[in-house]
């Protein structure tokens, strides 16, 4: 859906346009090789955030480079596109590795006739400049299981074989009702569609509250892909989905177990240190003018609550199972300090040249 247009029908998310897999043995045509691929993301996007967290937890930063687009999309030929700008480290408006201004150039390099939508994340083959995949879940699953020796020592099992059926089942419910459900609320074309979507969102949150009251993680005794998929929505809930998408029956902070669970993960390496609330608010409020025609960016909530004690250790389990935490994020990938992510952003960003 074009973000600057009013919704006329219920939102439907298109399947990934390109979904080639990258595996250790290259059995699908693309082998996991250091320095061969570049991951193009927006820090605002929850679908891209899943992959960024997976890459960080698996220690693949040195194997797969990261390119961050501007959170405010540029309108090109009537459609919003993810682009590189000075605000995100590309002074000449082009990614320094791929040499492109807009991610769509990698799509067109792959298929010159492609005329569909362009989404993040995009995994790009650096040598050819071709997009390999924009399938966020498959990229995550493969990074968690198929990158072999390129993953760090002590990387957690994010998609353990014995738990995959349960992870997939939980993830499917969360996707339908919550991950995509908040968008169905925000882009609802009429009252009936909104009422149906918002009921599903809060029914799912209520069920998750009950599920997480007595256990630390969604599936098993340590972090899995199921947690990454849920948390990417939770961290955006009060900042944008509650007000901007009208998901305002309750705030996340009003769910004792869910809010503690979300803080627990925020304070775990790979979660909070990959989150930029300023990018998140700038994207949703500035780009989605069909919902927010003034483009005014909301200032809150105060992000310091993410650092308060959560007490979830008492439930047992450990974040990384038999693994270890990842080391510090690379210097050029560190997000702004949390205190800076709670300021008013409009004036600051307006003053910066695109």
Exposed, middle or buried by CB within 10 Å (0-12, 13-18, 19+), for 206? middle
Cis amide linkage into residue 270, ω under 30° from 0: no
Q: How far apart are CA 178 and CA 194, in angstroms?
A: 13
Known catalytic residue at 194: no
Domains and CATH numbers, the chain: 22-150 (3.40.30.10), 161-350 (1.20.1050.10)
Q: How far apart are CA 230 and CA 237, in angstroms?
A: 11
The 8-class DSSP code of residue 102 comes to B
Known catalytic residue at 285: no
Residue 2 pLDDT: 44
Q: How far is CA 166 from CA 28, 154, 259, in A?
A: 26, 23, 23
Instruction: Look at the alpha carbons of 280, 54, 143, 208 in this order and tell me if their dihedral is positive or negative.
Output: negative
Residue 9 pLDDT: 64
Q: How far is CA 110 from CA 38, 105, 122, 266, in A?
A: 15, 9, 12, 36
Which one from 37, 45, 247, 261 is the annotated catalytic residue?
Answer: 45
Residue 353 pLDDT: 43
Intervals of the chain under pLDDT 70: 1-9, 342-354
Return the number of other C-beta atoms located less than 10 Å from residue 66's C-beta. 21
Rounding to the nearest 10 degrees, give the CA dihedral for residues 6, 8, 9, 12: -40
Q: 133 - beta bridge partners?
A: 19, 123
Residue 234 pLDDT: 99
Return the number of other C-beta atoms located less than 10 Å from residue 337's C-beta. 9
Which one from 37, 159, 183, 285 is the annotated catalytic residue?
Answer: 183
Residue 291 pLDDT: 96
Q: Are 117 and 18 within 8 A, CB to CB?
A: no
Q: How far is CA 210 from CA 214, 226, 311, 332, in A?
A: 8, 16, 17, 39
How far is C-alpha 55 from the geometric centre of its chain's CA atoms?
12
What b/e string do you get for 128-146 counting C-beta neighbours within 10 Å, with b at 16 or more? ebbbbbbbbbbbbbbbbbb
Q: How far apart are CA 221 and CA 163, in angstroms?
A: 11
Residue 8 pLDDT: 56
Q: Are 224 and 167 within 8 A, CB to CB?
A: yes
């Amino acid at each position: 859906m074009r973000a600057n247009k009013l919704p006329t029908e219920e939102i439907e998310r298109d399947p990934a346009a390109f979904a080639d897999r990258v595996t250790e043995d290259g059995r699908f045509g693309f082998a996991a090789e250091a320095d061969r691929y570049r991951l193009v993301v927006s820090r605002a996007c929850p679908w891209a955030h899943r992959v960024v967290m997976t890459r960080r937890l698996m220690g693949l930063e040195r194997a797969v480079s990261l390119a961050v687009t501007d959170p405010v999309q540029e309108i090109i030929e009537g459609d919003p596109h993810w682009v590189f700008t000075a605000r995100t480290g590309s002074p000449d408006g082009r990614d320094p590795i791929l040499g492109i201004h807009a991610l769509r150039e990698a799509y067109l390099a792959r298929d010159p006739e492609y005329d569909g939508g362009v989404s993040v994340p995009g995994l790009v083959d650096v040598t050819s400049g071709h997009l390999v995949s924009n399938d966020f879940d498959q990229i995550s699953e493969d990074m968690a299981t198929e990158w072999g020796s390129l993953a760090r020592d002590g990387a957690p099992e994010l998609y353990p074989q014995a738990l995959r059926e349960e992870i997939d089942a939980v993830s499917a419910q969360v996707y339908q009702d919550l991950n995509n459900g908040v968008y169905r609320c925000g882009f609802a074309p009429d009252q009936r569609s909104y009422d149906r979507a918002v009921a599903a969102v809060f029914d799912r949150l209520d069920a998750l509250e009950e599920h997480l009251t007595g256990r630390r993680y969604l599936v098993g005794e340590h972090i899995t892909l199921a947690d990454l998929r849920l948390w990417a929505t939770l961290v955006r809930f009060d900042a944008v989905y509650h007000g901007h998408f009208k998901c305002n029956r309750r705030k996340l902070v009003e769910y004792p177990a869910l809010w503690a669970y979300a803080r627990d993960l925020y304070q775990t390496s790979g979660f909070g240190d990959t989150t930029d609330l300023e990018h998140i608010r700038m994207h949703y409020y500035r780009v989605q003018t069909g919902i927010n025609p003034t483009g005014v960016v909301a200032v809150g909530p105060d992000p310091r609550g993410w650092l308060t004690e959560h007490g979830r250790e008492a439930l047992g389990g450990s974040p990384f199972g038999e693994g270890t935490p990842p080391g510090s994020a690379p210097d050029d990938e560190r997000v702004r300090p949390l205190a800076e992510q709670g300021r008013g952003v409009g004036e600051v960003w307006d003053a910066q040249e695109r």
